[in-house]
Amino acid sequence: MISNFKLKFGRAPGLNPENITATPVTVFVGPNNSGKSKVLSEIEQYCRRGSKDASAVILDDLTFTGLAADKTPQAIESIKQVPGQGEAINIDHIIVGSRYGRQQVPISSLTQFIEKPDTNIQAFCQWFLQHSTLILDGRNRINLVNQQSAGDLQMPPQSSFQVLFRDDKKRHEVRRIVNEAFGSYFVIDPTSLGYLRIRLSQRAPANDLEERGIHAEAVKFHSEAQLIDLASDGVKAFAGIITEVMAGDPQILLIDEPEAFLHPSLASKLGHEVSRAALSAEKRIFVSTHSPTFVMGCIQSGAPLNIVRLTYRGGTATARVLPSDEILELMRNPLLRSTGVLSGLFYEFVVVTESDADRAFYQEINERLLRFKPEWGIPNCLFINAQNKQTVQTILRPLRKLGIPAAGIIDVDILKDGGTTWTNLLSGANVPNISHGSLATMRAAIKQAMDATGRDMKRDGGITILSPTEQEAAKNLLSQLGDYGVFIISGGELESWLKHLGASGHGPSWLISVFEKMGEDPNAANYLKPSDNDVWVFMQQLKNWLADPNRKGIPA
């Protein structure tokens, strides 16, 4: 078993590499090109060779613990091969093998290495673990349900279908899972003599004989069921993975993007069942995914779980273990669940706004920057909205705790709010407690100065209603908050941007008006493109904070 795995980098630049205690399930998440699929292939290569790969860029080392003596015979039996006709076997040797090859090994040494891998890790991996390691990726998962040879019933099973055909308990478990997912019944069809096929039946077989036999009743039963070949790719992928997990019985299972072809509800179901199987069978399962619903299925299974977020940007890589109990707590919050905040795990950056109108506007501004002024645009960024300025920190706090760079955009009237509202914002942005007092004093003084003008700070121009010296103080406060990823609209509110367009209304009505005036066709003369002022510069400031690997506000 893999007991620990060490990566080549840590939670932040300059920190020690992560040395992670293995759990039954490890899920790798993160943005595109962060190394999620790469780490799976590096784990696979290590398990087959028993040594570090000099070209590995993510995995540094694996540590193994042996199986208990009472479990070793069963483990050996799972990889034991029958001698071929005329094949000579050395004394006290057996043949072990899989689709990855076969070899003769001394039984006493094999037993020793399985129980104590450290005595010879290379032999442990090359004689045993490589035959008990399976990787499932986009290229092969659809083909897992293709018909397989029925084999010789007098010999040990050689494929997952042969295992299921003979093992009623495992076959019934696969049937339960597939039925709960699709409402049809998974059955193994032996009526094409010499081959085993999967069918999906509208009813369960009356008994095991009706499913496993070749008599008239069995032939009729299978003829009325649908071959899985005619099912959708989602059904094939789901059934194929479940079949291999339950019947293929690998000690190490690596799955790349298991959610491919699956509806979110099926991705959740798959995560739940795969994790349960890992727990009950003492397997180690490593998964790379882009699906928050798959992750939640894993968490809700109750199996011990590692969630490892990988990032890579500008030559700097990070790896952070995310506690599953914190993610589960995050998803119990109705506000966080409704905003889809868990999707932030799969983006490089997150921007949190007050309302949906704010979110839509800043997202559109960013899209135009990425197209026409990419050096100011924020790539691979998720824009989500809270319900108001008070709840922006409710979303910022858990995202940052998980190591995700999340910036907040808030109207200037946040300066009206002292007490817990102000303190919660600073805490959610991870501003050091020792700074809270001075920032609170500055906020109160600026609010008093704004109130003294008799004007509305939000509607009448933001900090521009202040005198020059007071404006300087306000800019200093906003700059300090910006250092921690909290960006206050100095002009007041959302509607203070792009005044020259003459958009009217407030909130959603203003958004419709400004979008009409911004234009839709990039080739049209009236299409608004980025300039070097206004909201475009504001977005550049967000981009600079988000892209800075030494940014303030993310807990180490």
User: Does 141 have pLDDT greater than 80?
Assistant: no
**Dist CA 375 CA 536 (whole Å):** 11
Instruction: Look at residue 139 and tell me whether its pLDDT is greater than 80.
Output: no
Query: Of 149-163, 193-207, 457-471, which gets the smallest average pLDDT?
Result: 149-163
Neighbouring CB atoms inside 10 A of 486's CB total 25
394 vs 409: CA distance, rounded Å: 13
Q: In terms of pLDDT, which residue wins out, 379 or 283?
A: 379
Q: In sequence order, which residues have a C-beta less than 8 Å from that of residue 163 and are 6 or more positions away?
A: 157, 170, 247, 248, 249
Exposure class string for 307-335: b at 16+ Cβ within 10 A, else e: bbbbbbbeeebbbbbbebeebeebbeeee
pTM for this prediction: 0.85
Closest C-alpha among 500, 488, 423, 507 to residue 450? 488
**CA 270/CA 275 separation, integer angstroms:** 8
Sketch the domain layout of the chain as residue ranges. Answer: 2-137+257-322, 146-235, 333-547
Alpha-carbon torsion, ordered 450, 455, 460, 464, to 10 deg: -40
pLDDT digits (tens, 9 = 90+) for 266-314: 999 999 999 988 876 668 999 999 999 999 899 888 888 889 999 988 7
Question: Average pLDDT for residues 147-168, to the nearest whole number?
Answer: 88
**What integer pLDDT is reported at residue 158 of this predicted model?**
79
pLDDT of 335 above 70: yes
Q: Which residues in 450-527 belong to E strands, given as ranges? A: 486-488
Mean pLDDT (whole number) for 37-54: 91
Q: What is the pLDDT of residue 280?
A: 67
Which of 193, 270, 182, 278 shows the shortest CA–CA distance to 231?
Answer: 182
- % residues pLDDT > 70 (the chain): 99
User: Residue 431's closest CA among 454, 411, 408, 462?
Assistant: 408
- Taking the C-alpha atoms of residue 37 and residue 120, their distance in angstroms, rounded to an integer, is 28
Which residues fall within 8 angstroms of residue 468, CB to CB, at 6 or more apart? none
Indicate if the pLDDT at residue 84 is higher than 70: yes
Highest mean pLDDT among 86-95, 321-330, 442-451: 442-451
Helix (H) / strand (E) containing 394: helix 392-401
CATH class of 2-137+257-322: alpha beta
pLDDT of residue 176: 96
Task: Report the pLDDT averaged over residues 129-152.
Answer: 85
| 255's tokens | 């799955």
Tens of pLDDT along 420-457? 899 999 999 999 999 999 999 999 999 999 999 999 99
Mean per-residue pLDDT of the chain: 91
Q: Calculate the CA 168 to chain-centre distance.
A: 34
How confident is residue 51, by pLDDT bands cut at 50, 70 and 90?
Answer: confident
The whole-number average pLDDT for the span 364-383 is 96
CA 97, 101, 105, 111: dihedral to nearest 10 degrees?
A: -40
* pLDDT (mean) for 134-143: 78
Maximum distance among all Cα pairs of the chain, rounded to whole angstroms:
101
Q: What is the pLDDT of residue 281?
A: 67
DSSP string, 213-225: --SHHHHHHHHTS
- Per-residue pLDDT tens over the stretch 229-273: 999 988 999 999 999 888 877 889 999 999 988 899 999 999 999
Report, as an integer, the average pLDDT of 67-88: 85
Q: What is the pLDDT of residue 469?
A: 95
Tell me, what amino acid is at 206? A
Q: What is the pLDDT of residue 171?
A: 95
Q: Three-class SS of residue 98?
A: strand
